[in-house]
Amino acid sequence: MSFSRDQRWRPGLGLALLPLVLNACGGASGQSKTGPGGGSDKRPVSVVATKVVARDVPVTLDGLGTVTAFKTVTVRSQVDGRLDSVAFREGQFVKRGTLLALIDPRPFAIQLHQAEGALARDQAQLGGGKVNLDRYTRVAKDKLIPQQQADDQGVLVGQLEGSVKADQAQIEQAKLMLEYAHIRSPIDGVTGVRLVDPGNMVHPAEAGGIVVVTQIDPIAVLFTLPQDELPRVQKALAEGKPAVDALARNGGSVLATGTLEVIDNQINATTATIRLKAIFANPDRVLWPNQFVKARLHLGLRQGALVVPAVVVQRGPAGAFAYVVGEDKTVAARPVVVDSTDTEFAVIRSGLTAGETVVTEGQFQLKPGALVETRAPGENQDPGGRKGKGAGKTPGPVPEAKQP
């Protein structure tokens, strides 16, 4: 290094700056050895933790289901004739016996009158025949007429009695046809879309019918479960009809609660599932035919089950595990066996004990042996390390500086 004529080397200045350079180098070197997880003064990781609790937990099985009408009837005409009028509104709730439609009743009224006339005629002939039979019987005893004539009169009276009974049957048939002309609802339910308009000829052989009536109170839900659950379901049904909840498709709300009625008599070999049928009271019509729901079958109550939030259970190469906080504030990865789980909680079969502290948030920052600082669920921490419900909130936007 060369210096100009005016520059001079000053040894005292160099010696004075040397301690500052060494301190800077030492500070930088020391800083590389500290920080989270490094050096002897490592900082604890802030996590959210909770206790493992033992409590009674309902044992449930969830399956996808479809709402099915309790009864479905296609209302058809039972006689041939012209559809005179329709007495229902589409979508109307009707009771059993409510008049739905009327077929032209005049042909059946005429048949009834004809049968009644034939009955009156044959009854009159029967009355005269009985009088003659009584007379012939008395005269035949005195040998005034042949016995054969009295016997023939008895046969004639029997034929007339048969004609009277036939006429009575014709009257009943005509009354039945007249009643069939008045089409009534066979069940309590709701009517669907009208399939035939008034003025058309209707026949009993028509497949479409006049209207479809479905009973929706009560209503049924058909749902499936894995075939491996069949023994538990059979046991619960043998002890009494277990409760079934019908939930919305996302499982967020319970629409209705009913009971399990039937286990299907065969397993679906394609899907390896069993089909079950539950019945629900449906006075408010919250369930509707062909609606997709989530069915939750209650099999009983498990007493003293170990319960943790579902987020506690982590997955690794070796299976499920949970971070357990020890008394020295360090965490250990504990293998666990999960018995059942849902969107909120998990039931632990083994691996944890009641009262232990487990991590619910912040697991991605942890490794076995890490030092942690725990806080309760819902308790936030601000960037400065202060804990509290109001700490850690995102600050509002900074107003823009005004231009001078």
Burial class (CB in 10 A: 0-12, 13-18, 19+), 294: buried
60-70+216-302 CATH: 2.40.30.170
How do the domains of the chain map onto residue ranges? 45-57+304-380, 60-70+216-302, 77-104+182-209, 105-180
Q: Which residues contact 44 (CB under 8 A, 6 or more apart)?
A: 329, 371, 372, 373
pLDDT at 225 over 80: yes
DSSP 289-309: TT-EEEEEEEEEEEEEEEEEE
The pTM is what? 0.63
Write the single-letter amino acid at 162.
Answer: G
Average pLDDT over residues 80-95: 93
Q: In whole angstroms, what is the distance from residue 337 CA to residue 348 CA?
A: 6
111: tokens are 């048949």
Instruction: Identify any residues that bridge with 61 across adjacent strands, giving them in sequence order.
Output: 297
pLDDT tens for each residue of 146-203: 888 888 889 999 999 999 999 999 999 999 999 999 999 999 999 999 999 999 999 9
Strand (E) or helix (H) holding 158: helix 147-180
pLDDT tens for each residue of 241-292: 999 999 998 877 899 999 999 999 999 999 999 999 999 999 999 999 999 9
77-104+182-209 CATH: 2.40.50.100
For residue 3, the model assigns a pLDDT of 45
Handedness of CA 252, 258, 263, 264 (dihedral sign): negative
Q: In whole angstroms, what is the distance from residue 94 CA to residue 111 CA?
A: 31
307: tokens are 């319960």
Give the distance, in angstroms, between the CA of residue 338 and the centroid of all CA atoms in the same chain: 26
Burial 350-360 (b: 16+ CB within 10 A, else e): ebbeeebbbbb
Q: Rounded to whole angstroms, what are the CA distances from 32 to 20, 45, 221, 327, 378?
A: 19, 19, 66, 30, 35
pLDDT at 20 over 60: no
Helix (H, G, I), strand (E, B) or coil at 44: coil
On whether the CB atoms of residues 358 and 325 are closer than 8 A, the answer is yes
For residue 138, the model assigns a pLDDT of 87
91: tokens are 């979508």
Q: In whole angstroms, what is the distance from residue 289 CA to residue 214 CA?
A: 9
On whether the CB atoms of residues 215 and 70 are closer than 8 A, the answer is yes
Please report where in the chains the tokens 């390896």 appear, as a residue.
272
Q: In whole angstroms, what is the distance from residue 180 CA to residue 103 CA?
A: 8
What value does the CA radius of gyration of the chain take, rounded to a whole number of Å?
45
Stronger pLDDT, 117 or 150, i.e. the higher one: 117
294: tokens are 């989530």
Q: In whole angstroms, what is the distance from residue 339 CA to residue 324 CA?
A: 19
Please report where in the chains the tokens 């487990």 appear, as a residue.
358
Q: In whole angstroms, what is the distance from residue 81 CA to residue 109 CA?
A: 13
Give the distance, in angstroms, between the CA of residue 156 and the centroid of all CA atoms in the same chain: 70
Q: In the CATH hierarchy, which fold is given to the domain comprising 105-180?
A: Helix Hairpins (1.10.287)
Other C-beta atoms closer than 10 Å to the C-beta of 223 total 25
For residue 76, the model assigns a pLDDT of 93
Pick the CATH number of 45-57+304-380 from 3.40.50.1100, 1.10.260.40, 2.60.40.10, 2.40.420.20: 2.40.420.20
Backbone angles phi, psi at 369, to 5 degrees: 90, -5
Q: In whole angstroms, what is the distance from residue 22 CA to residue 29 CA?
A: 10
Please report where in the chains the tokens 């599932």 appear, as a residue.
273
Residue 101 banded pLDDT, cuts 50, 70, 90: very high
Q: What percent of the chain has pLDDT over 70?
A: 83
